[in-house]
Amino acid sequence: LSLRPFRKLKSIAVSSDLNFNYFMLVEVLLMLPASIEVIRGWKLSNSEFIQALDLWLFFRTHPKLKSLELRDIKLRSCVVLWDLWPTIAERCPDLKELLLAFHQDNGGLFLHKGIDQLCDMKKFRVLCNSNKYHNSEQLIAFCARNPDIRELDLRFNKSLSFDAVLAVSELKHLRK
């Protein structure tokens, strides 16, 4: 499989009924050219579990991303993605729209630190059954760095502080 003819590719939309096996999926994701800016409709439910390192490496090697949609991501159980958000903030500064929907079997997924390092996001949706990954302080900082966000979907399994709820309510585009 070669994507060499597509090395200046800017956008790709993938049919949700396209089936990938694990090795093909990882190969295609990592072979997408660094010039890629938009990836839509990528549904991974038919794939095997992918390594967290592959997801991390994908962000490290695609610095021009502006919009990314990955659904039904199956990571190996009890995965810790300690520096996913700092990596995205550092390596993909133009990423403004992000949807990461983790598969329901990812009960041991932990996305701990760094959401507060993302800035100038317009859409941010992280869907996961096991939302042990954000706290009120990170949400307050995230809101401060993303005042023009238009879509925000984070699921919390614990109570937020009043200040965190207030920070979200003060986002101007979400008040409409």
pLDDT at residue number 172: 85
Q: Give the position of tokens 């598969």.
A: 103
pTM of the model: 0.80
- What is the C-alpha separation between 157 and 148, in angstroms, rounded? 25
134-160: per-residue pLDDT in tens? 678 888 999 999 999 999 887 665 677
> pLDDT for 32-88, tens place per residue?
888 889 988 776 655 555 666 777 888 899 999 999 988 777 766 555 566 788 889
Question: What average pLDDT does range 121-125 have in this prediction?
Answer: 93
Q: Which residue in the block uniquely carries the two structure tokens 């109570």?
A: 159
**Contact 98/121 with Cβ under 8 angstroms?**
yes
Asked if 48 and 73 touch (Cβ cutoff 8 Å), the reply is: no
